[in-house]
Amino acid sequence: MIEDLILTVLLTSVPLIYAATGELIVERSGVLNLGVEGMMLMGAVSAFGISMVSGSLVLGIVAGGFAGMFTAALFGILVLFFTTNQVATGLALTIFGTGLSGLVGAPLIGHAIEGLPVINIPGLSNLPILGKLVFSHDWMAYGSVLILAAVAFFLKRTRAGLVLRSIGDNHDSAHALGYSVLGVRFIAILFGGFTAGLGGAYIPLMLTPHWAEGMTAGRGWIALALVVFASWMPWRILVGALLFGGITIMQLAGQARGWTIPSQFLSMLPYLATIAVLVVLSGSRELSLVNTPACLGRNFRVGD
């Protein structure tokens, strides 16, 4: 029973890892995209629809990633080339993605598909405890950790990662050195949209193999808070995702076990935890400023 609970926590954290990892890259470039929820919903509906029509989960996952990326491209064009307010545009993107995914997904309600298969590793999947918890997941779950590791390596060990971080810290100096601030930021936004789409795709293809309007249930907002919780450090995202995933499962387990606590309060737990983390971080100047990109949320205009 405990193993099943831990396994559920691990699976629940996968969409958060995908979405938060992409948003980390976006914010390290100096852009604040609050449209993660909308991108995840577009990825979810696209992945489910394409998988149901084509019968291919791989095509569905790819479609989910590109749906998130195209949605992010709209945000990127508005904030980078038309210099619209990043906060307002991100909120509009979430509203847009929520409405459009509900419209597109209306004919898909009531249908179900076969979810992603679990990979059994010979000799390892049968190990007691570790076999089920570590070596018996689907390939997208393993992929989330690999993408997180690749992002950590990219930011810390590559020249391109250094350029990205320098643009997020001082876009004027980076521009003076000849780097394309808008180009780098646009690529970062596209990457963030693609991974958010993958995170959204994982929900109907693995967690709940059906489509329901608004099925991301605020995970995009939690992913945004997760980036701040991680202090813009990749590996802390993994810890935070497991923490928030555990709180999400706790409220579901509490409702299933019939706890006397009102179900509405249990449903609030993940978001209360999100608020609590943000309050703690903002209360400490040292924690709130460490690794924070200095140009986060600031538009860049050539010639200013």
- Render each residue's pLDDT in the chain as its tens digit; 304 residues: 677 777 888 889 999 999 999 999 999 999 999 999 999 999 999 999 999 999 999 999 999 999 999 999 999 999 999 999 999 999 999 999 999 999 999 999 989 888 888 888 777 777 777 787 888 889 999 999 999 999 999 999 999 999 999 999 999 999 999 999 999 999 999 999 999 999 999 999 998 888 999 999 889 998 998 898 888 989 989 988 988 888 777 766 666 666 666 766 766 777 777 777 777 766 666 655 567 899 999 999 876 5
Give CA separation, 269 vs 123, 212, 263, in Å. Answer: 39, 22, 10
DSSP E strands, 47-205:
none
Backbone angles phi, psi at 210, to 5 degrees: -160, 170
Domain 2-111+136-289 adopts which CATH fold?
A: ABC transporter involved in vitamin B12 uptake, BtuC (1.10.3470)
CA–CA separation, 103 vs 125, rounded Å? 41
Angle separating helix axes 219-229 and 36-54, nearest 10 degrees:
130
For the chain, what is the total number of helices (H) and then of strands (E)?
Answer: 13, 0
Check residue 117 and give left, alpha or beta (phi > 0: left; psi -120 to 50: alpha).
beta
Residue 281 to residues 87, 159, 225, 243, 287, Cα–Cα distance (Å): 20, 30, 11, 16, 6
Residue 210 is given by DSSP the state B
How far, in Å, CA of 166 to CA of 145, rounded? 25
Contact assessment for residue 25 and residue 191, using Cβ atoms and an 8 Å cutoff: yes
Amino acid symbol at 261? I
Which residues make beta-bridge pairs with 210? 112
Q: Which residues contact 100 (CB under 8 A, 6 or more apart)?
A: 42
Provide the pLDDT for residue 304: 57
Instruction: Write the Ramachandran bin of 30: left for phi over 0, alpha for psi from -120 to 50, otherwise beta.
Output: left
Query: Taking Cα atoms as reference points, which of 13, 15, 109 lies closest to residue 61?
Result: 15
Query: What tokens were used for 243?
Result: 């923490």
Measured over the CA atoms of residue 37, residue 38, residue 42 and residue 43, the dihedral's sign is: negative
Distance of CA 195 to the CA centre of its chain: 6
Q: Which of 138, 139, 135 is nearest to 125 (CA)?
A: 135
For tokens 């904030």, the residue is 79
The residues spanned by each domain of the chain are 2-111+136-289
pTM over 0.85: yes
Can you say whether residue 293 is alpha, beta or left, with left for phi > 0 and alpha for psi between -120 and 50 degrees?
A: beta
